[in-house]
Amino acid sequence: MNQNNQFELSQVMGEQFKFSGKYNLKSLLMQLLWVIPLMIGLSIIYNYICKWIPLAYFNILGTFAYGILIGLCGYVAIKMSHTRNKVVLTTMMLILGILGLYFAWIFFFVVQLKLTYADGFKMIFQLFVAFDMTSNWFIKGKFYLWRLPKDVQGSWLYFLTHSIEALLIIGVPIFSGRLLNSREAYCEDCQEWLDENKEIIIEDVCDKLWPDLTFKEQNKFLRNKVKNLEVNELLTAQQVQDKDSHLRCELKYCNNCKKFAILNVSRKKIFKKEQEAFNKKFETETEQEATIVAGICIPSSILKNIINNKNKGV
The residues that touch Zn ion, with contacts defined as CB under 5 A, are 187, 189-190, 254, 256-257
CA pair distance 227, 244, nearest whole angstrom: 25
Please report, for the chain, how many H helices and E strands are present, in that order: 11, 6
- Minimum CB distance to Zn ion smaller for 80 or for 257: 257
Rg of the Cα atoms in the chain: 26
Instruction: Count the Cβ atoms, other than its own, within 10 Å of residue 86.
Output: 15
Q: CB 34 → Zn ion: shortest distance, Å? A: 27
Q: CB 216 → Zn ion: shortest distance, Å? A: 37
- Minimum CB distance to Zn ion smaller for 15 or for 196: 196
- Minimum CB distance to Zn ion smaller for 190 or for 240: 190
Of 216, 214, 225, nearest to 314 by C-alpha is: 225
- Minimum CB distance to Zn ion smaller for 51 or for 183: 183
- Minimum CB distance to Zn ion smaller for 59 or for 300: 300
Q: What is the DSSP string of 73-135?
A: HHHHHHHHTT---HHHHHHHHHHHHHHHHHHHHHHHHHHHS---HHHHHHHHH-HHHHHHHHH
Q: CB 206 → Zn ion: shortest distance, Å? A: 33
Q: CB 199 → Zn ion: shortest distance, Å? A: 20
Q: CB 188 → Zn ion: shortest distance, Å? A: 8
Q: CB 254 → Zn ion: shortest distance, Å? A: 3
Q: What is the DSSP string of 177-240?
A: HHHHHHT--EETTTTEE--EEEEEEEE-THHHH-TTS-HHHHHHHHHHHHHTT--HHHHTPPB-
- Minimum CB distance to Zn ion smaller for 22 or for 140: 22
The DSSP secondary-structure symbol of 16 reads B
